[in-house]
């Protein structure tokens, strides 16, 4: 097969790997620090160098997952959190010139969701929804093998569906969207506000006050921590219920660091889904934890490189090898 490379670009690290199959990659993964402080040109140059290193020369094609809203068709990144200067940036053309090969770009959550559909929890699903709940909330929707991108490439921003008109704002400044109450940032902020208002909690002794520490306190029986996680789960569940009504998915997978707290989230999510979803499509929809974990972004980038640039990729395997 041609020398195709997938790149997972984050705010602090770059990972690149050579594709060995539709959803598999070589054992050797190239890792670089992301020189975000040096600006977009330096980041693009680091990605190009990682791609050449992974390919052992000039690649035949590269696919890269980039955090933030972007248009995969035009190759322009509208804005990327944690990557200063990535605003209306022609990232695809810049990377193509630097790497010396054709490039495809996509939102990192979309590629992680594509990986879960091709080689993870969403295998064999005709309509699949992936929701990644971490510092923020992202998502992906795959219908009959097609990744839904929308007219501007920004579809499936699950974190920005409305939750409550009186809810806290998200990182984009939108008041009352899901990300404001159920993301890691939202969970930590809500705990800080409650503590500042004088609410009793063992969280007063916790530094730093992170969503992970709040999850530990919830497991230990702290009432405030438990309520905050219950509220986050209910918001997620009602949003998932709406997605069931709109899309009728075969499966919904939850990923990300917050999403890994299945013991705290699953029961209230399921209960809240039942509050709003129609019974028959809800019964037919699988809900579960994403299977690929932190590997999803790289698997998705590799899979997208193969899908985009390999004329004869062969059938996608049932699981990553």
Strands 103-107 and 87-89: unpaired
Closest to 244 (Cα-Cα) out of 222, 215, 213, 276: 276
Dmax (CA) of the chain? 63
pLDDT for 152 equals 78
Homologous superfamily of 4-108+294-309 = ATPase, nucleotide binding domain (3.30.420.40)
Least confident of 10-14, 102-106, 175-179, 220-224: 175-179
Cα–Cα distance for residue pair 321/319, rounded to 1 Å: 6
Q: What is the pTM of this model?
A: 0.91
pLDDT for 166 equals 81
Higher-pLDDT residue of 312 and 249 is 249
The CATH code belonging to domain 121-290 is: 3.30.420.40
pLDDT for 319 equals 36
Higher-pLDDT residue of 85 and 175 is 85
pLDDT for 14 equals 98
pLDDT for 313 equals 57
Share of the chain above pLDDT 70, in %: 97
pLDDT for 321 equals 31
Is the predicted pLDDT of residue 107 greater than 80, yes or no? yes
pLDDT for 314 equals 56
Average pLDDT over residues 225-253: 97
Structural domain spans, the chain: 4-108+294-309, 121-290
pLDDT for 320 equals 35
In angstroms, what CA-CA distances link 297 with 14, 31, 211? 11, 14, 22
Strands 30-33 and 13-18: antiparallel
Contact status, residue 263 vs residue 233, Cβ threshold 8 Å: no
Average pLDDT over residues 24-35: 97
Q: Do domains 4-108+294-309 and 121-290 have the same CATH topology?
A: yes
Average pLDDT over residues 81-99: 95
> Mean pLDDT score of the chain, rounded to an integer?
93
Is the predicted pLDDT of residue 46 greater than 60, yes or no? yes
Helices (H), the chain: 40-55, 91-99, 108-119, 178-182, 184-196, 211-219, 223-247, 256-259, 262-276, 279-283, 296-309
Is the predicted pLDDT of residue 179 greater than 80, yes or no? yes
Average pLDDT over residues 225-248: 97
Average pLDDT over residues 2-7: 97
Contact status, residue 89 vs residue 83, Cβ threshold 8 Å: no
Cα–Cα distance for residue pair 32/53, rounded to 1 Å: 11
Is the predicted pLDDT of residue 318 greater than 60, yes or no? no
Place of tokens 């690649």: 59
Local confidence band at 178 (pLDDT 50, 70, 90 cut-offs):
very high
In angstroms, what CA-CA distances link 228 with 146, 204, 252? 36, 15, 23
pLDDT for 317 equals 42
Token pair belonging to 247: 């899309």
Beta bridge partners, 252, equal 129, 287
In angstroms, what CA-CA distances link 223 with 20, 58, 226, 259? 49, 56, 5, 20
Per-residue pLDDT of 260-311, as tens digits, reads: 999 999 999 999 999 999 999 999 999 999 999 999 999 999 999 999 999 7
Local confidence band at 169 (pLDDT 50, 70, 90 cut-offs):
confident
pLDDT for 151 equals 81
């Amino acid at each position: 097969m041609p020398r195709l490379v997938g790149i997972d670009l984050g705010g602090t690290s770059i990972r690149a790997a050579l594709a060995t199959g539709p959803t598999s990659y070589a054992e050797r993964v190239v890792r670089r620090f992301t020189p975000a402080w040096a600006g977009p040109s330096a980041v693009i140059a680091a990605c190009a160098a990682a791609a050449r290193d992974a390919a052992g020369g000039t690649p035949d094609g590269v696919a890269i997952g980039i955090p933030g809203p972007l248009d995969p068709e035009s190759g322009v990144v509208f804005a990327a959190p944690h990557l200063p200067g990535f605003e209306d940036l022609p990232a695809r053309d810049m990377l193509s010139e630097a790497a010396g090969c054709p490039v495809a770009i996509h939102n990192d959550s979309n590629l992680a969701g594509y990986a879960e559909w091709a080689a993870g929890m969403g295998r064999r699903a005709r309509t699949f929804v992936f929701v990644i709940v971490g510092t923020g909330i992202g998502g992906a929707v795959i219908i009959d093998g097609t990744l839904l991108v929308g007219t501007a490439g920004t579809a499936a921003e699950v974190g920005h569906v409305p939750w409550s008109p009186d809810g806290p704002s998200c990182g984009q400044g939108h008041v009352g969207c899901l990300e404001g109450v159920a993301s890691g940032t939202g969970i930590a902020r809500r705990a800080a506000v409650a503590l500042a208002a004088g609410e009793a909690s063992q969280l007063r002794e916790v530094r730093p006050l992170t969503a992970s520490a709040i999850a530990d306190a919830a497991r230990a029986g702290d009432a405030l921590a438990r309520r905050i996680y219950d509220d986050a789960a209910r918001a997620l569940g009602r949003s998932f219920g709406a997605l069931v009504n709109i899309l009728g998915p075969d499966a919904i997978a939850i990923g990300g660091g917050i999403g890994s707290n299945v013991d705290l989230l699953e029961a209230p999510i399921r209960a809240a889904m039942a509050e709003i979803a129609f019974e028959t499509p809800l019964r037919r929809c699988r809900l579960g934890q994403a299977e690929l974990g932190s590997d999803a972004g790289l698997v998705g980038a590799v899979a997208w490189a193969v899908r985009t640039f390999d004329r004869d990729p062969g059938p996608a395997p049932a699981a990553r090898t």
